[in-house]
Amino acid sequence: MKIIPVVLSGGSGSRLWPLSRKHLPKQCLPLVDCHYSLLQQTLQRVSPGNSQATVIVCNENHRFLIAQQMQDIGQQNATLILEPEGRNTAPAIALAALELTQRENSDALMLVLPPDHVIRDITAFEQAVNKAVELAEEGTLVTFGIKPTRPETGYGYIKFGQNYAVEQFVEKPDMETAKTYLASGDYLWNSGMFLFSAETFLAELKALQPAIYDAVSEAYKGRSEDMDFVRVDKDAFATCPDDSIDYAVMEKTQKAKVVPYSGDWSDIGAWDALYDFADKDDNKNVLTGDVIVEDTTNCLIRSESKLVAAVGISDLVVVETADAILVMDKTQSQSVKKIVKRIQEQGRAEHEFHTEVHRPWGTYETMDLGERYQVKRIVVKPGQKLSVQMHHHRAEHWIVVSGTAKVYKGDQEELLSENQSTFIPLGTVHALENPGKILLELIEVQSGSYLGEDDIVRFSDRYGR
């Protein structure tokens, strides 16, 4: 039986702020491995090599970031389905199931995975998947339950019975209830991983949640391909109810089964989970980046841009980025969302972007920002070109640091090399291209009455923005 990995990569991971942001979510960060992101590790675990079969359902805003991460590990031909907006896991899985039906793979088994799990015991994971395949071939909907190692209030639970039966799905409990679940031996952590055929899932979804089935089917009828991405009808998808697969299907179906997994596992959902999973030094600290500590124990301290020094502290999480610092009692990890919400309510941008922002053509980083000026470091990948655009409120001065820049200004073109510069007057239609074989790095100095990223009028763009 053919197994097709389906990775649901639509979340933002706000509990891992300030490292995880709306436009650079946790699954795209190297949190437990200095070389690979959580998403890349997931893809390498279930679809090694250049897999054409893998399906990824992701937020439209993350499409180029995820495509680049796949390219970096040699997976360039998977299908990326873009959600116009997040509507939870049931609609996302339905999109993937319809895509497999479109490919005439409706009887293939979908191995549905979150992008942020860390699984190191590959043998135990493969054994669980093999058992799930046996059950799914009988027409069941299989979920995976993690054998709990501690009383945990951050996870939902599944009560299981004989012959892999699901007896009950349980919401996140309080600590006393979690201790009872652990002692009984009858409960598993709800992992959010599933295995079933596209055909079986769609039939159950249609029977149990016809509103979701109808809305997603209508959205998929408007399917179109844009570059390497699959788009669905935005208006139709917006009418779809927001519901998880657990609520929509698994808690109602008579076909649910659960396979226990007892190997090494973590979902890295918050800073305390990362601390628990990470290797620790002799003082039980997890130290990452430029960090110096003295008389410090049981802490997670992470530096992204500058030296962080800690003296005489314990049981804290300290995370430093270029534009924000989080200091938190390690037991309060679930409350980081409250800080992110307050940042949003204040109209700030620290929940959306880092100072370095990824774009399909490269990156830009804000180095200085004043009332009427902004200084950026821009890096353009070889062969890439920014959109043809103009600004109503700002002028720009570009200075090439390294590489070669092809500059379009009105009806003029010029080629600039290292230490050369050009000026883009306010209102001038312009574009920037890297025609060379190495990275183009330049400094952009903006000046004007308004410097927001929304002061861009695009006339043409190869990336469909």
Domains of the chain (ranges, CATH numbers): 3-266 (3.90.550.10), 280-341 (no CATH), 357-460 (2.60.120.10)
Assign 50 a pLDDT band (cuts: 50, 70, 90).
Answer: very low
Q: What are the CA-CA distances from residue 228 to residues 63, 70, 244, 313, 369 (Å)? A: 9, 12, 27, 49, 36
pLDDT given for residue 52 in this prediction: 57
Q: What is the DSSP string of 238-252?
A: HTS----HIIIIITT
Q: What is the mean pLDDT of residues 175-185?
A: 94
Q: What is the mean pLDDT of residues 34-42?
A: 92
**Quick check: helix, strand or coil at residue 420?**
coil
pLDDT reading at 7 higher than 50: yes
Assign 386 a pLDDT band (cuts: 50, 70, 90).
Answer: very high
Cβ contact 448:372 at 8 Å: yes
pLDDT given for residue 435 in this prediction: 97
Assign 334 a pLDDT band (cuts: 50, 70, 90).
Answer: confident
Cβ contact 65:73 at 8 Å: no
Assign 74 a pLDDT band (cuts: 50, 70, 90).
Answer: confident
Residue with the bigger pLDDT between 131 and 78: it is 131
Question: What's the whole-model pTM score?
Answer: 0.86
Residue 66: φ, ψ to 5°: -70, -40
pLDDT reading at 173 higher than 70: yes
CA gyration radius for the chain?
A: 24
- Mean pLDDT of the residues in the chain: 93
Residue with the bigger pLDDT between 439 and 67: it is 439
pLDDT given for residue 48 in this prediction: 56
Rounded Cα gap, residues 240 and 87, in angstroms: 7
| 351-378 per-position pLDDT tens digit | 998 888 888 899 999 999 999 999 999 9
| 268-324 per-position pLDDT tens digit | 889 999 999 899 999 999 999 999 999 999 999 999 999 999 999 999 999 999 999
Sheet holding 325-329, edge to edge: 286-288, 300-303, 316-320, 325-329
Rounded Cα gap, residues 426 and 424, in angstroms: 7
Residue 73: φ, ψ to 5°: -110, 15
Rounded Cα gap, residues 360 and 68, in angstroms: 8
- 465: which DSSP letter? -
Q: What is the mean pLDDT of residues 135-143?
A: 96
pLDDT given for residue 266 in this prediction: 87
| 80-119 per-position pLDDT tens digit | 999 998 899 999 999 999 999 988 777 889 999 999 999 9
Q: What is the mean pLDDT of residues 224-240?
A: 90
